[in-house]
Structure formats: C-alpha cells, structure tokens
Structure 1
Amino acid sequence: MAGKSKGKIIFDLSLLKRVFQYAKPYKTKFIFSVVMAILLAVISPVRPWLIQVTINDYVQQGVTAGAKTTKLSIEEVIIWITVLQIGLLLLETAFRFYFSYLTAWLGQTVVKDLRVNVYRKILKLNLSQFDTTPIGTLTTRTINDIEAINDIFSDGLIPIIADLLSIIAVLIFMFWVDWRLTLISLASFPFLLIATYFFKESVNKSFIRVRNAVANLNAFVQEHITGMAIVQAFAAEDKEFKKFNAINKEHRNANINAIFAYSVFFPVVEIVLAVGTGLMVWWAATHALDIYKDDPAAGQVLIGKMFSFFLCLNLLFRPLRVIADKFNVLQMGMVASERVFKVLDNKDVIKTEGTFEPNMVKGKITFENVSFAYVEDRYVLKNLSFEVKPGDTVALVGHTGSGKTSIISLLNRLYHIQQGAIKIDDVKVEDYKLEALRRQIGVVLQDVFLFSGSVLDNITLRNPAISREQVIAAAKMIDMHDFIMQLPGGYDYNVMERGGSLSLGQRQLLSFIRALLYNPSILILDEATSSVDTESELLIQRAIDKLIAGRTSIVIAHRLSTIRKASKIIVLDKGEIKEMGTHDELIAHQGFYFKLHQMQFEKHIPVP
C-alpha cells in the first residue's frame, strides 16, 4: 500500500490505477491529453533541427558563395524557415495550453466526483464512526486530501509522462545528430541525477512535515475558536497563544526546509547545464580543426550542431528542473488518495436493505431482549424488554449513563443492536426502508443543532416541499409565531453558526416546530427541558403537550415533574430496567424511582 515508512512514501500502482478509474467516464479527454503529451514530445526537437539546417545548409552556404543572387535566394529561404519556426512555436504553445487545460480539467472533474462519493459515504456511515473519528479528520478527507488528488492529474502522472517523452525525444535527436557530442554534453548529467534524488527525498520529508503541521494547526485553531468562551473565561489566552505559537513555528520550519531544498536544487541544475554547455563548446573547439581536416563537410556542419545542441540542452534540462518536484506532488497525491479510499472502503455503514415502506404507522413500539454495546462486549443496554402502545407516552428516567439516549438511538437505527429485536407495529426496524422509518419518527434532542442560515431554513432543513405558510401554521400551533416575529427579520433572521445568536430554550422551541412539520407518528423528546430557565420551560412544556397529543411518545427527562402524566415510566440503571409503572405506582412501591423523587423534591438535590 501507499503509506509512510520512516517518512518515505511508497509508490503503489494499484492505488494509482484506482484513482484513474474515476477518469474513465472522461476517457476521451484523457486520450486527448496523452495525444497532446506525445505531440509535444515530437515537436520538441524540431526547432533545434531547423536551426541546425538553417545554419549548415543556408547561412554558411550563403557566406561561402558570396554571390548576390544566391544570397538573396538563401535569405528568402531563411525567412521562410523563420516563419516556420514561429508557426511551430505558436503551435507548441497552443498544444501546451490545451494539454495544461485538459489535465487540470480532468483533475478538477475527478475531484468533484470523488468529493461527492466521499460525502455520500459519510452520510451513510454508522453514527459510531463519528463517535470515534474526529470531525476534523473527515473534513480533511473531504476537502484537503481530495484536492491533493487533483495534483495527480494537473501536476502528477500525465505531466511527468509528457516531460519524460520530451526528454526521450530530445535525447534521440541528439544521438542521431552526433553521438559523440551528445555524450560530451551529457557528461555532467549523472551529477544532476544524484542532485535530483537528494532533492526529491528532502522535499518528500518536508512535504510530510508540512501536511502534518497544517493538520495540527487547523485542528488547534478550529478547537480553540469553538471553545473561545472557555479560554477567555479561565484567562488562558497567554497559555493557549504559546501553544499556537509552537505549532505555527513547526509549520514555518517545515516550509523553510522545503524552500531550502528548492533554493539549492535549482542553482545546481543551472550549474550542471552550464557545465554541459561548456563541455560541448570545449570539445567542439578542440576537435573542430581535426574534424575539418579529416572531413571538411563534417567540420562545416559542426557549428550548426552546436547551436542545435545548445537549444536541446535547454529543452532537456527544463523538464528536469521540475520533474522531481512533480514526482513528489504525485506521491503526496497518492498518500491523499489512500486516505480518501479508506473512507470509501469503510464497511461500517447503515444497513438499508429493508423494503417495508408504509405511509403511516400506528406507533406500537416493542423491545424484545435487546442488548447493545458501542464497543464490543461492553454492553450499555442489557436484555431490555418493554412495549409502548400506540398513542401512549412513555418516560425514560435514570442516572446519566443509564442507557436512555441509547434506546432512542437504536429505535432510529442510528446504531445496530447485537442481540434481540426492536419492532414498530410488530415489524423489525431493520425491515423498514431507512428513509421511511425515520420519516415516522420525530426527534427533539437535548443539544439542538442549528445550521448557519435563517430561522425558516433551520425549521424546514431547506426542504423545498415545505412552504413558508406551513411553517407559520406549525409555529402558531405551538404558540411560537409571535416569538419568531419578534426576532429581527422574523423567519428570515440569521441564527448564525450552531444557533449561537439564540438561547438554548429558543433553539429548543425551533426544533419543536421542525418536528411538528414532519408530522411523525412517533415523537422522541430527549432532555427537552433539562437546561432551560423557568419561563422557557413553561413554553416548552405547553409545546410538548401539543406535540405529543395523539402520538406515541418517548420522553427522556431528569426533571421528574415533567413526566407525571406519562402512561408508563421506565426506570433504568446501568443499562437495565429496574422498574416500570405509572408515577403513582412507582411512588407507592418506594423503590428506585421513589429514591430519585425524594432526592429531587424533598432534599432538593439535583439528580446526577
């Protein structure tokens, strides 16, 4: 696999082949880009050859002939050759532009398709993946790593192939023209190969350091901006700034190391080119007379060869300046693609093989000997069995960590159970089509998440099928319309990121409207009044009464006063059911629920 081994990236052809599979729908453009690479390689030695022909066959011929009429004829030929050279230069420029455009277009198109696939896969991952994988990691995979794959096309494999073809074409031309002069000119070439190798290794390590430093920098900034209130509340600005400065310094040092490698390599290339040119001139100067004596014709054409070889050396060294850099870019793209494919290959996805898709359900809920663990063998729910009749309100109570939230997560198929069965209307939740199942279940969570955007967008979740009139009607139904209209802009008020411009109670009330609009048969309220003030609690309680009317409801609450009217109260402790019954029955039993009640209302000690 492509990965890191002592800071070195290993090349993997199978991984590269998989990346190029995403270019398969655009094979016409891919073929054109390869054709452009071949044409650019073929064109490369043509201009040096034309210069050689011009000097040897016409310039020297005109000088030696001395005849005015002949010279004028030769001048015309030279003018036409010059025009041909300009035409070839323009043609090469056009080909190079089209080649660069095609490779960049391929890269960006593949990036678009990959990003869509990765995000679609993230949407299908089990919730447990988000419990164990940092958000920043998935963000990096979806944005930064996929963007790096673009470089495989725009600055990676295809451009490398084009440069290699160009080098091969120039070398073939040089050996064809004069193999001795070619060997002399390339005598310093091994030093360039050695310098290229060390440059590639140095930049490779620097790139890895830079990417790691960028990841650390992004994670630190994201985390601390999100938690800025805590940083400032505990006067930790200076301490956190020192941490940031250390991470930022590492980022700078990593970049400086890469810059140093470039600063050394490019002058080395120029020196090797100059040495090659000097060797060529030296050899020609010292051997020209001998060649002329042995073969006068060969001696005369040596000048043209030197001019063409000078151009060939520049054409040869120009791609060599960047080919090592492009290879590093290709390798970094390979590393990024490996990370992206790990997300795409993740098998821990939500199973959607169910086909049952009712328009409505009655709302009967059955848990039969359900056991569940987030981590293997560490069960948070143990052999749970209970039933909720259609239209009933069941309350789940217990200490923090007793398994209340886990129950509602399983009902919504956010996780998969290890043992037992969960049924709605006597049909296993696994047999429902996932979208149909979740359409029947409305959820109001304790920590309401609001997206950056208007109140209307957050209520409808940008569903175009829900009109503003429907939203207003739902808001009026639970007495929220007047509150929303008091906001600047009313339903168009921007709630900012995570709903930061609204109080917790206000965010909670907006989530009630959201749940009501989707008209679910089953309603889940998770700690709906646990962290709000008394006034907001009264508003929320009135909203709850209207929401649960005629619906099967599961209510989780620490405040036992909010669940007195429940049809059944299920008392949980460490993933097991301790008691079940109505409020009066459980108080009369004087068991676990009675102790919770005593703690809250007689000793005024909040439940942990």
Structure 2
Amino acid sequence: MGTTGKRLFQYAMLYKGTILAALLLLVLAVCAELTGPLIAKRMIDDNILGIEKKWHQVQGEQLKAASYKGEWYKREDRFAPGEVKGREVRVLQVGRSYYFLNEPLRFEGGVREVSGERLTVTDSDADKRETYSVSKLSAKELFEFYAPEVPALLKLAAIYFGLLVLVALFAYGQRLMLQTSANRIVRRMRNDVYAQTQRLPVQYYDNLSAGQVVSRITNDTEAIRELYVGVLANFFTGTIYMVAIFGALFLLDAKLALITLPLIPILVLWIIVYRKFAAKYNRIIRTKLSEINGMINESIGGMTIIQAFRREKQTTEEFDELNDHYFKYQNKLLSLNSLTSHNLVNVVRNVLFLIVVWMFWGGTLGTLVTVGALYAYIDYMNRMFAPIVGIVNQLSNLEVARVSAERVFKLMDEEGTDVETGSIARYKGDVQFHDVSFAYKKDDYVLRNISFHASQGETVALVGHTGSGKSSILNLLFRFYDIKEGRITIDGMDASGMPKQMLREHMGIVLQDPFLFTGTIASNVSLDNPNISRKKVEQALRDVGAYDMFSKLPGGIDAPVIEKGSTLSAGQRQLISFARALAYDPAILILDEATASIDTETEAIIQRALDVLKRGRTTFVIAHRLSTIRAADQILVLDRGVIVERGNHDTLMEKQGKYYAMYQLQQGAVQPA
C-alpha cells in the first residue's frame, strides 16, 4: 500500500466501527446467500435424483414409504439403524421415463436401453451386459415414490426463502452503513481540504487558478467518495465472495475447487495490467478536467472583456482544444475498460464451464461428481463471476479515485500556517520597517533596504509609478508574504514572531477592487462576525457616508448582494469595503488605491470621514491621485523598490524632485520642453 493508500485507510479508520459493522453484515449476507447452492445440491441429489437409490420392501404402510401395486417400499437411506429390510427393488430413469425393477441391479452405471418391458444395461469399459424385466411407471405411480420427499423439499424451500430474506436485510444494513461512512469520510476530507486552503499562504494561489482549487475540493473528493461507496464495497464483496465460494467448493468437491484456483492469479494479473495503463490515462484526465474548470471559471469572470474585445471565437477554440484532449484520453480509457471488463470475464467463465462439462461428460469427473454437485458448482461460479465483474468494472473508478486522492493530498501537504483561534490586545499601531528587502522570486528584488517609521495615529502615503513596490510594502505588513531580509516591528514587537491571524486581527484593508461575498450589504460589512453588532454595522456605514444611500435600496442595508457585488456600482462596492474595515476598528488601516474607482462626489464623502476616523489609528494610503494625500503626515516616494524621497506634501514640493514632477503632471502644470 502506497502513501496515498495509507492516508485513505487512515480516513476510513475514523469511522472504523461503522465500517466493520458493515463488513460483518456483508459476511453474514454472503454466508447466508452461499448456503443456497448447498441446499439445491441436497434437493437434487437426495430428494429428486435420490429416487434411483435402493428401495426395500416393508410390512404395511409407514412413514416415508411408497406404495406400488399393493406393496410398500422404503428407500435404503430412510431406514433406522437395526430396522429389518425386505427384498431390494429399484426405480430407474431411462430417457424421460421411469421404470420399476423388481430385483437388484447386478452392477451400477453403464448405458441403459429399454425395449418394450426389457431393460438392457451395458458397461463397455468392463465388458458387462445385463438384461432385466421392468414395468413402466405412470405419472401417478411415479409420484407415489416422490411423495415421501415432498415434506423435506418444502422444508428446504422454506429455509432457502428465509435465507433470502436474511440476505436482503443484511445487504440493506451493509450498504446503508458503508454509504453513510463514505459520506462522513468525504465530508471530513472536504472540511480538511477547505481548511487547508485557509492555511495556505497567498503566494500559493499566485500560480494556481481558482477553478483548479475548486476542482480538487469538489470533483476530486467526489471521486474519492465513489472509492469508498462503490470501489471498496465491490472489492470487499468480491473478496469475501471468492474466499467463501472457494471454501464451499472444497467442501463440495476438491477437484472442482482445484480446477477453479487458476482464476486467482488470472485476476491479479488482470488488475496489474489494467492499472499500468489506466493510471497514466486517469492522471491526464484529472489534470485536463482541472484545466477545463479553471478556464470556465476564468471565462465566466471575464465574460465582459471577452465580449467587449470580440474574443468569443478564440476563447471557444482554446476551450475546444482542452476539451478535445480530455475527450481523446477518455476514449483511450473507455477502450481499455471495454477490453478488460465484462466481455473478457464472460469469456473466462465460459471457457471454465466448457472444461468442467467436458470433463464431466467425458468420464473424468462423471463417476466422482453428482449432478447436484455439478449444479451447485455452476451456481457458485455464476455467483462468483458477478462480484468479479463488479471488481473489474470498478478498476476504472479505483484509478480515478487514486489519482484524485494524490491531487487532494498534494494540496493538503503544502506547507501552511495553522489558523490561530486566540486573540491579542489591540496594539497601538506604531510601525517600523528596518532595512527590509524582499523578492517574490529568488534574487529578483522588488524592495531594497526599505526603512521608515510610522507613529501611532500617523497617515503614511506611498506613491510611485506602477511596479515601484508600494503594494509589496503593505503585503509584507499584512504578512501575506514573509520577508527574508530586515525586520518589521509593531509597537516594538517583531511582526514575524506574531501569529498571522492575531497580527491581522487589528488591521483593516480596503483594496482598489473590493471583494464582496454573496449575502447582504450588512453581512458584507460584518462578515458575519458575532462581535460586530447590527448597531456597529450601521454606524460604520454612517461614518463613511453610505447609510442614507443604501437605505434607499429595496431592503435597505439588508438588500441582497450577489457574487462579487456585480449589481452594485464601483463606488457602492468601495463604500461597503471601507465600512467593513472601519467596523472592525483596526489599529492599522490600509487603503490600497481605495479612491481610484470612486467618483469625485463619493471621494469627498470618504475624505471627510477619514479626517475624523484616522485619529488614533495608523493609516497607510497608496494613491495615484496625489491630491487625495496632501494632508498625509508622511509621503514615501518609491522608485524601483527604493525610497527616493520622504516628507510631507509641502516639504516634497519645496524639493522640486520626483514627487513635485508627479504632482505637477497630474495638475496639468508641466509645460512641454
């Protein structure tokens, strides 16, 4: 068992009690079901074909005796020990008719022929030939010899019916328990995978599309559910059936069991060959399915751009290429399944039946195996090949589940940070960067030797051209990424030594493109945090000047918000995001291009709110519109990851450096040379 198999087994062991109970019921169901052929064998050999055994005359009518022409006869095996036996007679079948022989047979076996009332028995191997005088039995006379067996036949039939009822009950309980356990296992696994997505650092998602992550949490775990529900149930059932049937075959007839034994290495070889090819195909199929999900997710999210720039044809062609690749390997897997599934099982079964029947009629088994035993053998084989077909047909699902489990466990094995449930006291918000350098990729630095001090209650603005490192500074402050060189302190405490969740507990952020969740306006402000009351939500919306605006909507602040807030304007989404940050009363507030998508009137509302709310709170502002940061206590001008200028607005304007040039350009005051 590989690492993946061990981990799947460990998940199963979380509910081992229910699974073991299900397997116990399965064993009971199989044992009850496999009793059927043994009952049938007894009915055939003892109660039906037993009519050809020796009969002895008895005095008068008695239990289990048959009447024929005024005389009473009882089968030899029905006599009690020590009971007196009269003269021997026989009832013999020739073709479809039965005959009464009023004397013993001189030898058993041989070929029987009847002409008139003369029976000839010939044994060519022993060069024997005997002739007897017989009387043909009518249907009524024949039934007299069968009548003593009717109660036993009815009793055995009732036992068999009772066993069928037990099998149904055991099978129902087993399936219910196994499927319930499978659903619980997959529920636990999905919870674990989703929890892992919360533990993973932000950079993990930089190179992995949302659709691929969704595919692992939904499609791949669903494939694993099928492993526990379908694959394991069929494998357990098949294994128990095969063990039980081989045991029954050895009890029935050792020769028949030995003839059947080669099935086991054939099945093992079968599975090895299948898995060799199926593993490769399934790995490609699951990868392509993730890519398809990723592309669909991306296309739906970017449908406005696709249609606006008339990229429908090209996008469809890209999807067709992915879909065709997926289709190609699905067909390869289908061909493999067709070659190695039900048809091949039937061929093996029929060849085995042909060998056994040939040996029986050819005399190799004929003298050793009864008709009832042969019937029971064929019945057992039919019962055993059904679970074998189940195992073979589940091989494809087994490989899909195994590959899916590899992908799920690969995600779960990614290094992450445990989500802390504790909290820390609200810090003041005194932030210092000490000679910080940072690279997203090795040696490709986006920040170099960054040092600054933001005192409690100060507003620090970060300005610079795109790619200068403004957002990277805030990513490091939030610890979305961890620094390799330098140090960041908050109130003198090293930020790297603080749990990320506790560090962020007293931080708030407003992004340029705010993200809203499905729910209501109020729930998007509170994020369903029980510590943020309805009153606090309303106050936050009032502080940003948005409460009156949203109150006019149908439902007010309980108006529904669909995915990403697509029914709201950019300004409304930004106001909700800003109210969210304020509702959490952060010690450090970060505005990342927060006013870039807002009209001038809305921006004025936020600016007025900021003047009141930034008191006692350290605020970091990234802004391309320099007019919005004139009142900042510090302005840090970045260029290619280096702070090239620092100071307040007036100081930097007096320097007439980079900030001055940027400001004048935005004000339209720079004259062409």
Q: 1:562 to 1:42 in 2, by over 3 A?
A: same
Tell me the equivalent position of 1:595. Answer: 661
- Give yes or no for contact 1:450–1:498 (8 Å, CA) kept in 2: yes
What secondary structure is seen at the aligned counterpart in 1 of 2:481?
coil
Q: How far, CA to CA, are the matches of 1:83 and 1:286 in structure 2?
A: 36
Question: 2:450 touches 2:642 (CA, 8 Å); kept in 1?
Answer: yes
TM-score when normalising by structure 1: 0.88
Tell whether 2:191 aligns with 1:80.
Answer: no
Matched to 1:490, the amino acid is: G
Shift of 1:488: 2.8
Preserved contact between residue 66 and residue 148 of structure 2 (Cα < 8 Å): no
Aligned residue for 1:287, secondary structure, equals coil
Aligned partner (choices 190, 195, 199) of residue 115 of structure 1: 190
Matched, 1:151 2:226: yes
1:55 aligns with 2:130: no
- From 610, 614, 617, the equivalent of 1:544 is 610
Corresponding letter in the other structure for 1:67: A
Residue 578 and residue 190 in structure 1: after superposition, are their counterparts in 2 closer, same or farther (change >3 A)?
closer
Offset of 1:597 from its aligned partner?
1.6
Residue 23 of structure 1 aligns to a residue whose secondary structure is: helix
Counterparts of 1:240-255 in structure 2 under 5 Å? Answer: 240-255=315-330
Q: 1:357, 1:432 within 8 Å by CA — same for their partners in 2? A: no
Gapped runs of 5+ residues in structure 2? 56-64, 68-143
Moved more, 523-532 or 42-51: 42-51
> 1:228 — aligned with what?
303
Aligned to 1:449: 515
C-alpha contact (below 8 Å) 1:199/1:261 kept by paired residues: yes
Tell me which amino acid in the other structure corresponds to 2:183.
Q
Aligned residue in 2 for 1:67? 66
In structure 2, the partner of 1:493 is 559
Please give the alpha-carbon distance, in whole angstroms, between the structure 2 residues aligned to 1:276 and 1:51: 21
One-letter amino acid matched to 1:72: A
Alignment-derived partner of residue 34 in structure 1: 23
Structure-2 separation of matches of 1:429 and 1:254: 50
Q: Is 1:357 aligned to 2:346, yes or no?
A: no
SS at match of 2:299: helix
Partner of 2:248: 173
Higher strand share: 2
C-alpha deviations, 1:300-353, integer Å up to 9, x for none?
A: x61101210111110121111121233343333222222222222222437969
Secondary structure of the corresponding residue to residue 363 of structure 2 = helix
Q: Is the 8 A contact 1:284 1:302 kept in 2?
A: no
Aligned pair partner of 1:160 in 235, 250, 253: 235
> CA distance change for structure 1 residues 131 and 261 in 2, over 3 Å: closer, same or farther?
closer
> Quick one: distance in 2 between partners of 1:576 and 1:263?
64
- Work out which of the residue numbers 190, 199, 215 in structure 2 matches 1:124: 199
1:581 aligns with 647
State the one-letter code of the partner of 2:406. Answer: E
Match of 1:135 in 2: 210
> 2:623 is aligned with what amino acid?
A
Contact 1:524 1:553 in 2 (8 A): yes
Aligned equivalent of 1:371, options 437, 441, 450: 437
Instruction: Name which of structure 1's ranges 315-324 and 175-184 shifts more when overlaid on structure 2.
Output: 175-184
Higher helix share: 1
- Decide whether aligned partners of structure 1 residues 86 and 63 sit closer, same or farther in structure 2, where only a CA change above 3 A counts: farther
Give the deviation of 1:188 after TM superposition. Answer: 8.7
Q: Residue 280 in 1 paired to residue 356 in 2?
A: yes
Would you say the 8 A contact 2:634–2:646 is kept in 1? yes
SS in 1 for 2:14: helix
Task: Report the secondary structure of 2:462's partner residue.
Answer: strand
Distance 1:109 1:316 in 2: 30
Q: State the 1:462 CA deviation.
A: 1.6
Amino acid at match of 2:400: M
Identity of matched residues, %? 35
Contact 2:210 2:294 in 1 (8 A): no
Q: Hey, what does 1:99 align to over in structure 2?
A: 174
* Matched residue SS, 1:67: strand
Structure 2: distance between partners of 1:209 and 1:283: 48
Q: 1:190 to 1:117 in 2, by over 3 A?
A: closer
Q: Indicate if the aligned counterparts of 1:521 and 1:552 stay in contact, CA closer than 8 A.
A: yes
Question: How big is each residue's C-alpha offset from its partner over 1:57-96, in whole Å with a ceiling of 9 and x where there is no partner?
Answer: 1112246668267633421111111111122222223222
Q: 1:140 to 1:79 in 2, by over 3 A?
A: same
Q: In the alignment, residue 319 of structure 1 is paired with which amino acid?
A: P
Choose which of 359, 362, 377 in structure 2 pairs with 1:309. 377
**CA–CA distance in 1 between the matches of 2:36 and 2:12?**
34
- Aligned-pair CA distance for 1:191: 7.5
2:342 aligned to which of 266, 274, 286: 266
Query: How far did residue 218 of structure 1 move?
Result: 1.6
How far has the Cα of 1:551 moved from its partner? 1.8
TM-score, normalised via structure 2 length: 0.80
The residue identity in structure 1 corresponding to 2:287 is: N
Shift of 1:187: 8.1
Distance of aligned partners of 1:603 and 1:317 in 2 relative to their CA distance in 1, 3 Å threshold:
farther
1:115 aligns to what SS in structure 2?
A: helix
Contact 2:419 2:501 in 1 (8 A): no
Aligned partners of 2:264 and 2:590: how far apart in 1? 73
- Report if the CA contact (8 A) 1:185-1:279 is conserved: no
Whether the 8 Å contact between 2:589 and 2:617 is mirrored in structure 1 is yes
One-letter amino acid of the structure 2 residue matched with residue 337 of structure 1: A
Aligned residues: 584
